Structure formats: C-alpha cells, structure tokens
Amino acid sequence: MELVTQHTHTDMTNHGHAPIEELVARAHRVGITNIAVTEQEIADEYAKMAEQYKMDVEKIKTIVAESALSGDLRISNALEFIKTNAKVKKASKKKAEETEETAE
C-alpha cells in the first residue's frame, strides 16, 4: 500500500504537471489570485483516501499532512478552473503539420 507521506507541495518540483511556480504564474495571468479550498473538500478527500486504502480517516490524517492535501487540492482546483475557462484556438495548418511530425 502506497500513501503520500507528509510534505509541503512547494517542495515538489514536478508532480505530473508544470513546476508549482509556473502553475501559480499561469493562474495569476488569467486572474486567479486565490484558489480557496474548503474544509469540506479536505474532509471529503480524507474520506476518499480512507476508503481507497481501507483505513480509518484519523489514521490517514496522521500520515497525510493537511497542508499537503490542501496544496494538492488547490492545484487541482486551479487546473480545473483553467481547463474550464480555457479558450481553445484552432491551430494553423503549419502548426498542425509540425505537431504531427513531432508525434511520429
């Protein structure tokens, strides 16, 4: 069983996404200055983890720091906001051809 150990998310340089500083900068560019995480979101995430690992919520809380969980949720919320509010532009034919060549 693998669980996230206590850490602060800012210690991580890459968590499957861009570095934290880059994500924060992107968020600020699109007008996101404060991504809040509610106590209910944190409680729900602890409950989901407890169910997933078949452990008591209180045990999960001793393993996963609330600050780490809150940081992860803030990033998830920011990414969701960006995805939801993104304005997708159609790529030019040249750009599409370059992308196809890169993919091969």
CB 68 within 8 A of CB 6: yes
104/94 Cα distance (integer angstroms): 16
Q: How confident is the model at residue 3 (pLDDT cuts 50, 70, 90)?
A: very low
Measured CA to CA, the distance from residue 67 to residue 81 in angstroms comes to 21
Pairwise CA distance, residues 51 & 91, whole Å = 43
Tell me the per-residue pLDDT of 5-58, one tens digit each, with 9 for 90 and over. Answer: 333 333 333 444 566 667 667 777 777 667 788 999 999 999 999 999 999 999
If one counts every other C-beta atom within 10 angstroms of the C-beta of residue 21, the result is 10
pLDDT in tens, 70-85: 989 988 888 887 788 7
Note the pLDDT of residue 100: 64
The CB density around residue 75, as the number of other CB atoms within 10 Å, is 20
